[in-house]
Amino acid sequence: MRDILSVHARTMCEIDHVLHPHGLGASDFEVLDMSAAASPEEGDQCRVLDLVGRVHLSQSAPSRVIGRLEKEGLVERSVGAEDRRGVSVRLTRKGRDLVTEVRPLQTGRAGPDAGLTVG
């Protein structure tokens, strides 16, 4: 178990190192990337509740991350007209461009050639 946690910690540090120059951390990118996957067309929205089930964060963390991303102009939040409890997220053009720019860097760093081995 300790080896797995060690690999995870090293991987997250590598990912953070790659994302930091773009103003992102691993959690930020994960939420942006999952939002992009859930809403592939510009203007599409995804429900925050759906994101919570897909990202590897505690249940309350996505709201904080989305708040930071919204402040940076990468996403916009909206409340459902029918169900005021239903919150949706839409990537802005800036957010989509950033995901497109950063995804190859992030996946390359976390891929099989990242040099991280258990043991």
Does the predicted TM-score (pTM) go above 0.85?
no
Per-residue pLDDT tens for 5-27? 888 888 888 888 888 999 998 88
Q: Which amino acid is at 16?
A: D
Burial class (CB in 10 A: 0-12, 13-18, 19+), 85: exposed
Per-residue pLDDT tens for 66-111? 999 999 999 999 887 666 667 889 999 999 999 999 988 766 655 4
